[in-house]
Amino acid sequence: MLKYALIVGALFVGCLGASKLGLHLLGVALFPIPIAVCVVRRQGGRTLGLLVCAALAVWLGDGTTIGVVLYTLLAGVGVPLGLGISLRWTYGWTVAAVAALVYVALVSAFLLTWPDWLAQSQAVWDMLLMQLKDSPSETGGESAAAIVATVTWMKDHWADVGLGLWMWPILVAACVGVSAVSTRLRRRWRIEGIRGSFGDMRPSEWLVWAAILAALLCFADYRWPSLGLRVVSWNSAIALAAIYWLNGFSIFVFALDMLRPHFLLVMSLVFLFVWAMPHPLLCAVGLFDTWADFRGRLRRAAAARKQREESDDVK
């Protein structure tokens, strides 16, 4: 658990915080929800005004042109969020639109400032490694050595994995934002909002072709490393793994809702997820759901159980 905490903390706080593009993130984070509300309530003037305010906030803070464009796009995340709620998109499409805008904005900014981004990221990893080596370990020598080795590997391969890893927190944040905003608007203004829920969300079956292409690129990189495909192949594979991981977790939530197991079993499963971190299992379940249709199987299992219970009540 300590290893995951260190990596996640360095990745999603240190690297962005060390970047010039991250200086105004906290301020811009205040804009998407008000913008979404204005879009839902069809207040176009206020929506445009908030976008202009987001751009000015960065520009007046000595922001670069890239920073102004980036944070205006990030503030504009409220637009697809509001459209999804007002036009009653499905939960999955709304999350996809929000996450896609954020991911494209961040990756574009990183690519446009590639040398600076890598240099700042390497500085963060060096600082973390120095702290790990200087601080006394409370988890034993072997565990400490494993953590240092993991962080060192991340530092050495950051260009190959950094862009793909950003997909994970973006997807989680998109789900939290869509759920929170749609629930708030439904309770306050009785707006029906998006259709479906997190448990119903499922990626397009066509996405599997992107996964197959990423696997072929990874194989080509392994077979012919001189081609220089690693940055594209590894980052693509990691980003797709995040999508299928989210689908696997969605299936898990759907299963709990459908089967409604005993409370102790639920707590045991939650403990397993928190402690064991079965990320590869969730990725595999999410990927093979393309062919297995686990939700359909769970619906049939729940219907069969309900029928049996009704038969027992009649007897």
pLDDT, tens digit, 9 for 90 and up, residues 61-73? 656 787 788 888 8
CA angle 120, 125, 131 (to 5 degrees): 130
Question: What residues does each domain of the chain span?
Answer: 1-196, 204-315
What digits encode the pLDDT tens for the residues 136-149? 655 455 677 888 88
The whole-number average pLDDT for the span 76-98 is 94
Q: What is the mean pLDDT of residues 210-232?
A: 93
pLDDT value of position 10: 46
Angle CA 247–275–91, to nearest 5: 20
Residues 119 and 155 sit within 8 Å (Cβ to Cβ): no
Write down the pLDDT at residue 31. 87
Q: Which of 59, 98, 93, 51 is nearest to 75 (CA)?
A: 51
Task: Give the residue with greater pLDDT, 187 vs 14.
Answer: 187
Burial class (CB in 10 A: 0-12, 13-18, 19+), 148: middle
Q: Residue 272 pLDDT more than 80?
A: no
Residue corresponding to tokens 């908030």: 50
**What's the start-to-end Cα distance of the chain, in Å?**
50
Query: Is 174 a residue whose pLDDT tops 50?
Result: yes
